[in-house]
């Protein structure tokens, strides 16, 4: 097992802020415009994450397993954009099984991790595309979700550094603290209560709770990616975003929250907005 990589130093905060300021306007522009520009950005992000994941699990190489992973993400996205998200999920499941079989034939212990990657990234891609296309409120839901995760990250960073204290998962991510998680939950809950209830007759407590749950689920996504990075001795999944690392490093908190929100919408009789 590779040695755990050192955590990113806090000295690049200025670079992180600058990168966020550069990328935020086009991201929210495509969310506002919607299809086809939003779809294109999500698909590109999914394909880049598949490239990062494959290289992470295969010692920096992008061979047959990487191509299979990418094809799975592309197929899932294509099915979703064609109006058949369930087919997209089926594609993800089939490719995950193929990756396990290919990985076992090739030897090595990366088969399960590759399958986990296509499931994590593929279902995120399907869910995120479906949420934005949700009738009447897709744009508002997408903005809410993206900023809820962003507030979770921001709260985690600043509360964690300011308060410190007990570590959340020291073997996976030594810099994360319970105080940081609490700060992320607090900011995400405030944002959720504000955005989802603005000019709407809705249950404020329910909306605040939704923000808190998003923050917790986002933390699970963050820790899942961190655990895989530590397994393979990787610090950043790539260097595509200065100060942040790769697309996976930036979107890890979204990987589980988008599927959770999609599931909540499908299973809720009351609606979200």
Q: Is residue 13 part of a domain?
A: no
- Mean pLDDT of the region 170-182: 90
Residue 92, pLDDT > 90, answer yes
For 81-90, write each residue's pLDDT tens digit.
999 999 999 9
Which of 133, 153, 173 is the C-terminal boundary of a domain? Answer: 133
Alpha-carbon dihedral sign for residues 46, 86, 210, 272: positive
Contact present, 87 and 126 (Cβ < 8 Å): no
* Higher per-residue confidence, 199 vs 252: 252
- Same-domain status, 100 and 141: no
Which of 97, 117, 133 terminates a domain? The answer is 133
**Which pLDDT tens digit goes with each residue over 28-76?**
999 999 999 999 999 999 999 999 999 998 888 888 888 999 999 999 9
> What pLDDT is recorded for position 9?
44
Q: Which of 85, 118, 133 is the last residue of a domain?
A: 133
Question: Which residue range forms the structural domain that includes residue 88?
Answer: 34-133
Q: Which two tokens stand for residue 159?
A: 């509360």
Inform me whether the pLDDT recorded for 78 exceeds 60: yes
Q: What is the total count of domains within the chain? A: 2
Q: Is the pTM of this model over 0.85?
A: yes
User: What confidence category does residue 5 fall into, taking pLDDT thresholds of 50, 70 and 90?
Assistant: very low
In this structure, are 141 and 256 located in the same domain?
A: yes
Are 105 and 51 found together in one domain?
Answer: yes
| Assigned token pair, 231 | 């397994």
């Amino acid at each position: 097992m590779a040695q755990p990589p050192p955590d990113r130093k806090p000295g690049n905060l200025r670079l992180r802020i600058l990168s966020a300021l550069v990328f935020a306007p086009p991201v929210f522009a495509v969310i506002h415009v919607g299809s086809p520009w939003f779809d294109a950005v999500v698909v590109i992000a999914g394909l880049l994450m598949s490239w990062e994941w494959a290289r992470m699990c295969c010692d920096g190489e992008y061979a047959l397993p990487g191509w299979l992973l990418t094809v799975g993400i592309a197929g899932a996205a294509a099915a979703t954009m064609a109006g058949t998200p369930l087919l997209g999920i089926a594609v993800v499941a089939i490719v995950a099984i193929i990756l396990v079989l290919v990985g076992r034939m090739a030897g090595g212990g990366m088969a399960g991790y590759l399958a986990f990657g296509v499931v994590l990234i593929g279902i995120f891609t399907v869910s995120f595309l479906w949420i934005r296309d949700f009738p009447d409120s897709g744009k508002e839901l997408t903005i809410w979700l993206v900023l809820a995760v962003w507030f979770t990250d921001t709260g985690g960073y600043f509360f964690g550094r300011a308060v410190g204290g007990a570590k959340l998962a020291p073997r996976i991510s030594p810099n994360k603290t319970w105080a940081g998680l609490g700060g992320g939950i607090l900011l995400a809950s405030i944002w959720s209560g504000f955005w989802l209830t603005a000019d709407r007759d809705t249950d404020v407590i329910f909306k605040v709770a939704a923000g808190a749950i998003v923050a917790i689920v986002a933390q699970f996504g963050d820790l899942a990616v961190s655990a895989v990075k530590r397994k393979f001795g990787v610090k950043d999944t790539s260097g595509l975003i200065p100060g942040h690392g790769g697309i996976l490093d930036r979107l890890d908190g979204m990987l589980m929250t988008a599927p959770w929100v999609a599931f909540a919408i499908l299973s809720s009789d009351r609606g979200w907005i």
